[in-house]
Structure formats: C-alpha cells, structure tokens
Structure 1
C-alpha cells in the first residue's frame, strides 16, 4: 500500500496480488479489486473523514489483454523480490521518506536494552501521546531519540521533540505537554512496562 497526501487530498495505491487458482476469470478478478477499493475507501472515511480520498488497485493491470496481477504461490519470491528485514519493517508499518522515520528495523532485536528496538517504539508512543494530550492544539509531533553507549536508556543522548501547533495556540502550553509526556514515558517504570508489552507481543513491530 502506498499513500501520498497533498494538502487535503489523499491518494492510496494498493498492489494486491491474487492467487491464480482461486480466480475463475477476469470478471471475478475485477470484482475482487473493486471490493478492495470499496473497503479501503470505507475505512478511510472512518479514519480521515475530513480528507478527499481516492484509491486505485493494481494499476499495472491491462484488462483488455488480460494482463492481471496474479501469483501462483502468494509470495513475490516467484520473481526474486524477497528479503529478510526490509523496508516494511518500520515499527508503525509505514515507509515515509518525506517524513521523519528511523532506518533501524525493529524485528530481531532484544526488547530489554537494544535501543534500536526500544527507542523506535518509544519515539512513536511519545509522539502519539503528545498529539493526544494536545486535544487539537498540536497538529503534528515528531520525536527523535538517540542513545550513546554507556548511557541509561532513561537518559537519551538526544531527545528532540518538534511540534507544529494549531493556529493561535500558545507554544509554551504545548511545550509543557511535550516535556511532561517525555519525562513520564522515559521513566524506569514506563520502560519496564514497554518491555513487558514487547515480550507479550502486544506492540506492533512491523
């Protein structure tokens, strides 16, 4: 799934290969792609009702030549397009080259003290909580955490928080929210809880 937003317009492109043995003909294939499109637009209407959303499914299809996005096994390994830990392994599942993101994959790292895993998750959770507590006064929150060998996880070498306020909002008030959230979520108790949730599989890691 690829998503682009320009101002209030959101364009969603879905590449959904279908296992050929389950598709009887072109009409059935088209019916499934339409169902996917409808499901995406219905979900978008619930999540971002204020946006103008469009959706395209399997845009490389050439229907008149019956060139469709089909697969035999259900994996892109058929075409040699495979990998171990790839682009999709961001902790929030998104690939955002025009937005702040970490190049560190979360999977395969220990949840006790590997900051590549912990800070990735924690940065996202801090940003979400700041945005939530802003109650509309904060349009965006971006959190960057950087560790250094020998430093406690509760004391990042860099803890950078960027805020975009709504119009006519006093910046000092939202700065106070950001500091409070950061201090709370970098506490020893909060980090122990984060570890427990990671070990229990309660946190999305890709």
Structure 2
C-alpha cells in the first residue's frame, strides 16, 4: 500500500477529517446530511456537498489502494442480479461474491440476458486471474449460456436455495438506496458501489469468523489498514 498517491494539497480541511468523513459515509447507512451533523457535533463545520465531493474524489482513490483478497482455485462464486430503478428506468446490478461473502465484482447494466451475464463473467476472470472451483446461481438461464461460452470447464450449480449468499449481499446496498432516496444515474451507482463494496470487504469479517474476539481483531486490523491507505495517521 502506498499512500503517497493520495493528494490532499489545496484542501482546507486536514486529511484526518476528510478520511473520517469518507469512512462514515461509505461504512455506515448514513446520508450526507447525517455525516455533516455528526461532524458538526464534533465541532467540524463542513457542508454535505463538500462531503459528497470528498466521497467522489477520495473514495475512489482509497478503494483502489485497499488490499484485495487473493484469489484461489478453491473459490466458489455466487452470482446474482438485482433490479434498481434509476430515473424510472430499470437497471440491473449484477454481483459476484465468494464463499466468505467477499464481493468480487459488480456491474450495472440495462440488460438481464446472456450478454449481460457474459460480461460479468469476463470481467470476473480478468479481475481474478483464474477460474473458480464452481459457480452457483439461481435459475436464470442466462448464467448457464454465458458460463458455457466463457468458462466451459467450471462446475455450475443452478438452484434458488443455494444462492442465498449472493442474494443476502444485496441487503446492505438496499439500505443505502433507501437512505439516499435512490441513485441519480447508472454511472453514479457504479462509482458508489466500487467504493462501498471495497470498504465493506475491508471491515466486515469473513463468514467463518464467529467469535467476538475474532471480529474485534479483524476490525482493529481493518482500521489500521484504512489509516495506512488514507494516511490519516502521519
């Protein structure tokens, strides 16, 4: 991780405040105005529009530097898609998570067909660098058609009940969608989820970590990595 690429020059507020505001916004189901209020309670007077700009500029920069989970051929990809209305028009958010609930990739598309499913699989292979042990999807036939074209040798299990892991991964975003009163554009949604999921991947413990101590240790390490990436502690 190299925090030197995060440039805070010409910003009136110090990096500690900027990184904390961005963390609050992407880590918790808070609106920009609620983040503004939390900062005000601490004596920091900053507008929600400034926080929005920080999120767009620094959130993306932070997300690019956060450590990603190393892929493995033993990974199991759970794929699912969810409809999101933007400006009265249906869009589909296609998402892939692994067996630990780690978000591997997400893509906003206007289609719910084989072409869209294929695009997700191609992106996943390029991003992960190797194929998984198997993929698990619901009964949407587009997945099977895309899988036969992109990764024919990979096992595919198609069953609605097996795919709860992917479906459950939509819940945090649904909460944010409600808090934000929807998204204004497909590009805005794509930018938001790229940061939102990266931060969530960092701070939410893997599914196998159940004990309170394991969760606390995970969060302490996550906060240390966040501080290193954002250069919040010099």
Please, what TM-score do these two structures have when normalized by structure 1? 0.29
Max Rg structure: 1
Please, what TM-score do these two structures have when normalized by structure 2? 0.27
Q: Using CA pairs under 8 Å that are at least 6 residues apart, name the structure with larger relative contact order, 1 or 2.
A: 2
